[in-house]
Amino acid sequence: MKRTFYILFTIVLFSLSSCKPDNFPEPGETIRGKIIDVATGELVLTDQGSEGTRIRLRELTWKETPTPTPFDFMCMKEGIYQNTKVFKGRYNVRVDGAFIPLLRLNNSGDTLADETKTLEISGVTEVDFQVQPFLKVEWAERPTVDNAGNIKAKVKVTRAVSREDFRAKIEPMGNYRDDFLNVTDIQFMVSESPYVGYRTTNGDGRRAQYNYSGNSFEPLLGTPIEVTSKVSNSGNFSGRTIFVRAAARINYATEGVRRWNYNEAIRIDVP
């Protein structure tokens, strides 16, 4: 009997101690900003999936942790980002996307360039980044829906960074290849979600992909290219509101991911 009482008493004490409130305040600071094309001043559009623009925070406040675990979140499709649940403190802020890397290291780990930002996050902290996108994707002809339900459009893809500038900044990092600048594919995406992108159309047949081998896309740069999402793939959108978008990418990966440059999403109210 005494043994049973002792066990129960120990369990109660353990339960009470485990319910002790955390002494740390909830994170409530905000960091937000824009990803801007340094050449045009326009926002760099992206996808909200893992292939989009990533924001990485490294807290530098705690000296006991010399290499703190980074905290990542994704930029919004419009090229803006915001996180309202950040602890107050000093951070290094870095963005990675379909643009020249802001942090560039050589094969030995030496820093060639560091355009990341280190700052105090307190209250609402705004920090913008100016970057050099790989490609610029534009609508050359507004998307339409024909009588058969096919969604058609024309897009134009141009380089947003020159070959010379790309090579000058990427080659010193090591393992450079001339085919990095090859445009490998164009994606044409259709969704009933305004967040249309690679992820929202993944696996449901609402994404048409146009692949290009080697440097075969080179003569097509700056030329309107017709893209179509066939009704057999896209379903019957009669009477619905849909959103369409296009993207293109080159044969170069940032942080191990080959990312797309996007144009803006267009809304279509299908009769």
Residue-wise pLDDT for 230-261, tens only, equals 655 555 677 888 899 999 999 999 999 999 99
User: pLDDT value at position 192?
Assistant: 85
Burial (CB count within 10 angstroms: exposed 0-12, middle 13-18, buried 19+), residue 177: exposed
User: pLDDT value at position 3?
Assistant: 47
User: Band of the pLDDT at 9, cuts 50, 70, 90?
Assistant: very low
User: pLDDT value at position 193?
Assistant: 85
pLDDT of 201 over the 60 cut: yes
Mean pLDDT of the chain: 88
Instruction: Provide Rg for the chain, Cα atoms.
Output: 24
User: pLDDT value at position 197?
Assistant: 84
Percent of the chain with pLDDT over 70: 85
- The single-letter code of the amino acid at 243 is F
User: Band of the pLDDT at 50, cuts 50, 70, 90?
Assistant: confident
Contacts by 83-87, CB closer than 8 A, 24 or more apart: 83/30, 83/31, 83/32, 83/55, 83/57, 84/28, 84/29, 84/30, 85/26, 85/27, 85/28, 86/27, 86/29, 86/30, 86/31, 86/57, 86/121, 87/27, 87/29, 87/59, 87/121
What the block records as the tokens of 133 is 């996108």
Distance in angstroms between the alpha carbons of the first and the last residue of the chain: 79
Higher-confidence residue of 215 and 61: namely 215
User: pLDDT value at position 202?
Assistant: 59
pLDDT of 16 over the 50 cut: no
User: pLDDT value at position 5?
Assistant: 41
Higher-confidence residue of 240 and 14: namely 240
Q: What is the 3-state secondary structure (H, E, C) of 181-234?
A: HCEEEEEEEEECCCCCCCCCCCCCCCEEEEECCCCCCHHHCCCCEEEEECHHHH
Q: Could you give the domains of the chain?
A: 29-131 (2.60.40.1120), 135-269 (2.60.40.2060)
Residue 216 near residue 268 (C-beta atoms within 8 A) = no
pLDDT tens per residue, range 92-132: 999 999 999 999 999 999 999 999 999 999 999 999 999 99
10 Å Cβ neighbour count for 227?
20
Question: Which of 29-38, 198-207, 212-221 is least confident?
Answer: 198-207
